[in-house]
Structure formats: C-alpha cells, structure tokens
Amino acid sequence: MHQGQKSELTKEIILNKSFKLFYENGFKTTSVDKIMEATKLTKGAFYYHYKSKKELGLAVISLKVQRRVHEGMIAPLYKSGNAVEILESTFLDRIKSFPLYDKKHGCPMNNFINEIADYEAAYQLALRKIIDEWRAGLIALIERGKAENSIKESVSSKAVAIYLISAFEGIRGIRKLYDDDIILEEYIAGLSNYIEQIKK
C-alpha cells in the first residue's frame, strides 16, 4: 500500500471510529485519548490528520452526519413522482427502517445539535447547513405538490417543511426514552394524519 493510501485509510479509521464514539457516548465526553484507544493509533497519527478535536468534530458533521441526512432524508425528496407519496415514503419509510441501535441512540445530527450547537459557532454553522439543505428540499417538493395539485395551495411550504423536520427529529430523541416502538407507531399515525390534511 502506498503511503498516501495508508494515510487516507488512517484518516478514515479515525473519522469512522470518532463518529461511532460521539454517537454512542456524546461529543464532549469522548476525548482524543478515548479515540486513540479505540483506533489503536498514536496521538501523533491523530494530530497529523486533525489539528484538534474541534476540527475532527467538524469533519464528522460534514463528512458523516451530513452524508447520512442527505442520503436518507434529502436526496429522496428530489425523486420523480407524486409529491405527497414522496413525503410519505421519505419520512415514514425512514422511521420504520431504523435498527434498534439507531433507535436507542437517536439521530446523530440531533444529538450534536442538543449537545454542542450553542457551544461553538463553527458547529452551529455546520449543523445549520444540513437543516437548511433539508428544509430547501422539502420546500421545493411541497411547491411541486401545489403545482401538480396534490397539495393544498393554502399550505405554507416553509411552515410545513420546518414542522416535518422538527417532528421527525423530536421523535428520534423521544424514542431513546422507551424500550419499545409504541411511541414511534403513534408518531407514524400522527404524521399520516397530518399529511392527509395538507393533501388536496
């Protein structure tokens, strides 16, 4: 393996292990020492790739968390087809697809928001970028639904977009408090009713 490839592999190992540790234990309580212990790498290897834990945190948000939200919740909004059906499948299929591990630990983005969004402006901006991209995708889809007469013209696209994001992120956090999916089933029923109300 070439040195460049080895270096990139080391960087990827640090990134992936850090994401897992931050997700399971929280950002603030996960030290560089804990990351190095988990990766079995040296501190020298860490500081060769990342100047600080802050820089690593930003990398995790932009390279891991943002990709996850984009693939699961944003990209599907741009599919062709009926806007209401896309809304339903994006939110309902996604919430049903999470394994127990994800249900127990919640949403990585939401965890970061709750833990460090008010802690450092750089984290706030990185996390806001994800929300803004998600909100823009939803607004575009809802406007498309109005144009195709599947969503009521009177509906505020901006209000619906932020409501859907907030409800989805909220239930991801609330589910961490429970040992079963009853609360998720209630959310799914509520979301289905809400989408029914905005349909034309």
Q: Where in the chain is the domain with CATH 1.10.10.60?
A: 1-50
Q: How many residues does the chain have?
A: 200
Q: Where in the chain is the domain with CATH 1.10.357.10?
A: 59-198
Cβ partners under 8 Å of residue 151, min gap 6: 83, 84, 142, 145, 198, 199, 200
CATH number for the region 1-50 comes to 1.10.10.60
> In this structure, what are the phi and psi dihedrals at residue 199, rounded to the nearest 5 degrees?
-70, 150
Tens digit of each residue's pLDDT (9 = 90 or more) over 156-180: 999 999 999 999 999 999 999 999 9
| Mean predicted confidence (pLDDT) in 21-36 | 95
Q: What per-residue confidence (pLDDT) applies to 4?
A: 61
The answer to whether 152 and 199 are in contact (CB under 8 A) is yes
The answer to whether 49 and 112 are in contact (CB under 8 A) is no
Percent of the chain predicted with pLDDT > 90: 90
Q: What per-residue confidence (pLDDT) applies to 106?
A: 96
Q: Is the pTM above the cut of 0.85?
A: yes
| Mean predicted confidence (pLDDT) in 179-196 | 96
Q: What per-residue confidence (pLDDT) applies to 6?
A: 74
* pLDDT > 90? residue 186: yes
For domain 59-198, the CATH superfamily is Tetracycline Repressor, domain 2 (1.10.357.10)
Task: Identify the CA nearest to 57 among candidates 111, 24, 19, 29.
Answer: 19
Distance from chain centroid for Cα 116: 15
Element (H, E) at 174: helix 157-175
Q: What per-residue confidence (pLDDT) applies to 1?
A: 55
Helix (H, G, I), strand (E, B) or coil at 180: coil
Tens digit of each residue's pLDDT (9 = 90 or more) over 32-90: 999 999 999 988 889 999 999 999 999 999 999 999 999 999 999 999 999 999 999 99
